[in-house]
């Protein structure tokens, strides 16, 4: 049976990327609203009524309005994947990061959910690096973590994309310097942290790709873990993960540099561990495509889980 998918906001960057990926699946049919009716509440409700799953690629307030429209349909409402920030910490929504827990526990929650909140791109990398450290008990929930990240400009919305594509965007910029980035609530909620890390995002003059890094002063802990112990934590946590590849000790597998380029166009995430036991220091790095595992790729992975397809 072919599942009908309505992408509310399919003309945006994430919506177009999702539609492109779904075109390769013969088990789904994308149904589209007439462009002249895309803001018509009645027409959108009709599309939702006809859909098995609605994927929301909308600003936060518009996403909340779309969910309200769906709720009015009662038993005729579609299942929903929301790519906005609106529901990422809502207790009645499944968080759409299938690798949040080992042994497919989160993947099963997503598969059985009627409401799934797609993670933020930065949050995907940060949570992937921090959650195993907290879940293992190696780091306390109140440890003063810092997270640094650089993304391609396609994660910044239409205005930023237009600036860069017209040649007026800066070569590199830090932002979120008020330490209040919108992804922080979900990072705290889904890592087990009791306080927000210091998170400094940045944008470079390239379209797609992302590096997220967490430096660790291991000597700050009462019991200093070795790199071998950290390596085992991550290897065990991501053993069998479908869309996260843990490469192990970075200094053993790659050169002393990591670039963004290999992440472009991929729907998975790679993780490396670097460090020096003598200095009691370590560095965790995640590489992903901000439009792939950081957005559209994650949405399609979640949709596949919800429809019982391979994910």
Please tell me whether residues 173 and 71 are part of one structural domain.
no
Contact 210, 290 (CB under 8 A): yes
pTM of the model: 0.95
CA distance 90 to 80: 14
Q: How far is CA 220 from CA 11, 15, 144, 148, in A?
A: 48, 44, 10, 19
Please tell me whether residues 86 and 177 are part of one structural domain.
no
Specify the CATH number for the domain of residue 141. 3.30.360.10
Specify the CATH number for the domain of residue 94. 3.40.50.720
Please tell me whether residues 93 and 24 are part of one structural domain.
yes
Nearest to 48 by CA among 26, 18, 80: 80
Residue 184 belongs to what domain range? 121-290
Q: What is the mean pLDDT of residues 167-195?
A: 96
Please tell me whether residues 110 and 36 are part of one structural domain.
yes
pLDDT at residue 253 greater than cutoff 70: no
Please tell me whether residues 112 and 170 are part of one structural domain.
no
Confidence of residue 157 (pLDDT cuts 50, 70, 90): confident
pLDDT at residue 173, as a whole number: 95
Q: What is the mean pLDDT of residues 161-169?
A: 92
pLDDT at residue 229 greater than cutoff 80: yes
Nearest to 83 by CA among 31, 30, 13: 13
Please tell me whether residues 267 and 160 are part of one structural domain.
yes
Alpha-carbon 275 to chain mean position:
26
Please tell me whether residues 192 and 125 are part of one structural domain.
yes
Mean pLDDT is lowest, of 179-188, 255-264, 297-306, for: 255-264
Please tell me whether residues 198 and 227 are part of one structural domain.
yes
Please tell me whether residues 184 and 209 are part of one structural domain.
yes
Number of compact structural domains in the chain = 2
SS3 48: helix
Please tell me whether residues 167 and 227 are part of one structural domain.
yes
Confidence of residue 156 (pLDDT cuts 50, 70, 90): confident
> Cα angle vertex 112, ends 107, 113, to 5°?
95
Please tell me whether residues 91 and 173 are part of one structural domain.
no
Strand partners, 151: 203, 210
pLDDT tens, residue by residue, 184-221 = 999 999 999 999 999 999 999 999 999 999 999 999 99
pLDDT at residue 287, as a whole number: 97
Across all residues in the chain, what is the average pLDDT?
95
**Helix runs in 82-145, H state only:** 105-112, 121-135
Please tell me whether residues 89 and 220 are part of one structural domain.
no
Would you please indicate which residues are annotated as catalytic (active-site) residues? Answer: 121
Q: What is the mean pLDDT of residues 146-151?
A: 98
Contact 227, 279 (CB under 8 A): no
């Amino acid at each position: 049976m072919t599942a009908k998918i309505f992408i509310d906001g399919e003309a945006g960057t994430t919506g177009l990327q999702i539609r492109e990926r779904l075109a390769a699946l013969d088990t789904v049919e994308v149904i589209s609203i007439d462009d002249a009716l895309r803001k018509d509440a009645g027409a959108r409700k009709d599309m939702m009524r006809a859909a098995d799953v609605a994927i929301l690629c909308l600003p936060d307030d518009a996403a909340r309005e779309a969910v309200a429209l769906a709720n009015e349909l009662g038993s005729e409402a579609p299942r929903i994947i929301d790519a906005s920030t609106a529901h990422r910490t809502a207790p009645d929504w499944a968080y759409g990061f299938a690798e949040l827990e080992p042994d497919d526990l989160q993947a099963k929650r997503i598969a059985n959910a009627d409401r799934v909140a797609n993670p933020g791109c930065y949050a995907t990398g940060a949570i992937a690096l921090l959650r195993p450290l907290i879940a293992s008990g190696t780091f306390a929930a109140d440890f003063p973590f810092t997270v640094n990240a650089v993304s391609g400009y396609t994660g910044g919305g239409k205005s930023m994309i237009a600036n860069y594509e017209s040649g007026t965007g800066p070569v590199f910029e830090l932002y979120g310097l008020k330490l209040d980035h919108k992804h922080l609530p979900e990072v705290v909620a889904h890592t087990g942290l009791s306080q927000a890390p210091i998170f400094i995002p940045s944008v470079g003059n390239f379209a797609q790709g992302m590096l997220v890094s967490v430096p660790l002063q291991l000597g700050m802990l009462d019991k200093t873990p070795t790199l071998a112990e950290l390596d085992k934590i991550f290897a065990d946590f991501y053993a069998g993960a479908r869309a996260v590849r843990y490469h192990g000790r970075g200094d053993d597998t790659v050169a002393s540099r990591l670039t963004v380029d290999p992440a472009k166009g991929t729907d998975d995430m790679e993780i490396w561990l670097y460090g020096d036991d003598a200095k009691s220091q370590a560095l965790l790095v995640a590489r992903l495509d901000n439009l792939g595992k950081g957005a559209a790729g994650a949405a399609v992975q979640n949709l596949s889980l919800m429809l019982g397809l391979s994910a």
